[in-house]
């Protein structure tokens, strides 16, 4: 099995890939905490693996993307000790098919690098990746595999939390699509504002990108909330919730192979 670990700002996902079944058979999702205690992490992983009949020895290699710097080092140390297998941390200098063509390539999030690698290898050709996580990001890749740039917007949950935190009277609402765009009570008003508003934002961003670069882009959506904006179905060629896990795996495997040779 291959283990991809995707540490985002809200959640970390441990994805177990079984090459025989050619799929991610298990995914453990844990909250990301800057003050994470390693015994807590170990307890959760042990319990999950026990419940799912997974053995540490089945994991043959590990790839990690982490966009929360305080977690990176302790996580690698833990993973090396726990699995005792090769570990690759995705970074901008990892060998990959993607070339980052931005002003400061080192500042790019490794989750976006992983997304780009998977999208370019799996779906091929120029693409725009829309990732609905803590941040809503758009990554633009041309037909040569150059990552031309990124847009970053607050994600849907982040926007909802921000309204709740910065107002006296607005409640924290569930992310549910109301039947009409004009809100008839406060909860409806926020849900309509966020869900209809973000649908418009995504359409607008895609059209601005296409206006600047008129390529035949495939649009690939990922992230847990990619399916919630059902109005956007026509905008997306593919919804691939495992894009980041796949990209981490592709990059890690390429780097293991080339380092052995």
Ligand X SMILES: CC(C)(CO)[C@@H](O)C(=O)NCCC(=O)O
Ligand Y SMILES: Nc1ncnc2c1ncn2[C@@H]1O[C@H](COP(=O)(O)OP(=O)(O)OP(=O)(O)O)[C@@H](O)[C@H]1O
Nearest residue relative to K ion (C-beta): 133
Nearest-angstrom CA–CA distance, 119 and 121: 6
Q: Which residue has the tokens 């901008």?
A: 92
Which residue, 51 or 84, has its beta carbon nearer to ligand Y? 51
From the annotation, which residues make up the binding site for K(+)? Answer: 131
Is 240 noted as a catalytic residue in this protein?
no
Q: Are strands 2-7 and 61-66 parallel, antiparallel or unpaired?
A: parallel
Please tell me which residue in 18, 35, 84, 111 is annotated as part of the active site: 111
Tell whether residue 133 is a contact of K ion (CB under 5 A).
yes
- Pick what 112 binds: K ion, ligand Y, ligand X, none; C-beta below 5 to 8 Å, kind-dependent: ligand X
Report the alpha-carbon distance of residue 24 to residue 242 in Å, rounded.
Answer: 8
Residue 29 contact among K ion, ligand Y, ligand X, none, beta carbon within 5 to 8 Å by kind: ligand Y
How far is Cα 219 from Cα 128, in angstroms, rounded to an integer?
5
Q: In angstroms, rounded to a whole number, what is the distance separating the alpha carbons of residues 210 and 204?
A: 10
Pairwise CA distance, residues 147 & 117, whole Å: 10
List 15, 63, 126, 133, residue binding ligand Y (CB under 6 A): 133
Please identify which residue in 82, 224, 231, 238 interacts with ligand Y, judged by CB under 6 A.
224
- Residue 152: CB partners within 8 Å, gap ≥ 6? 135, 136, 137
117 touches ligand X by CB under 6 A: no
User: What is the smallest separation between the CB atom of 31 and ligand Y, expressed in angstroms?
Assistant: 9
d(CA 205, CA 70): 32
User: Which residues of the chain form contacts with ligand Y (CB under 6 A)?
Assistant: 8-11, 29, 32, 132-134, 157, 223-225
User: Which residues of the chain form contacts with ligand X (CB under 6 A)?
Assistant: 8-9, 67, 107-109, 111-112, 133, 135, 137, 150, 152
Q: Which residues are catalytic?
A: 111
């Amino acid at each position: 099995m291959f283990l991809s670990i995707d540490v985002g700002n809200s959640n970390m996902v441990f994805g177990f890939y079984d090459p025989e079944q050619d799929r991610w058979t298990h995914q453990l999702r844990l909250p990301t905490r800057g003050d994470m205690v390693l015994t807590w992490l170990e307890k959760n992983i042990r319990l999950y693996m026990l419940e799912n009949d997974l053995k540490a020895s089945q994991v043959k290699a590990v790839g990690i993307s982490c966009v929360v710097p305080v977690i990176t080092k302790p996580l690698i140390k833990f993973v090396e000790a726990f699995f005792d297998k090769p570990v690759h941390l995705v970074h901008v200098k990892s060998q990959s098919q993607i070339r980052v063509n931005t002003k400061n390539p080192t500042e790019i999030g490794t989750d976006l690098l992983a997304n780009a690698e998977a999208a370019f290898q799996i779906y091929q050709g120029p693409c725009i990746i829309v990732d609905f996580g803590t941040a809503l990001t758009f990554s633009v890749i041309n037909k040569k595999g150059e990552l031309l740039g990124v847009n970053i917007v607050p994600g849907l949950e982040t926007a909802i939390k921000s309204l709740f935190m910065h107002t006296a009277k607005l409640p924290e609402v569930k992310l549910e699509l109301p039947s009409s765009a004009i809100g008839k009570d406060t909860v409806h008003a926020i849900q309509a504002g966020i869900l209809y508003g973000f649908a418009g934002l995504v359409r607008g961003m895609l059209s601005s990108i296409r206006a600047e670069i008129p390529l035949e882009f495939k649009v690939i959506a990922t992230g847990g909330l990619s399916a919630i904006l059902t109005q956007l179905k026509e905008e997306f060629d593919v919804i691939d919730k495992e894009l980041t896990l796949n990209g981490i795996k592709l990059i890690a495997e390429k780097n293991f192979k080339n380092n052995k040779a």
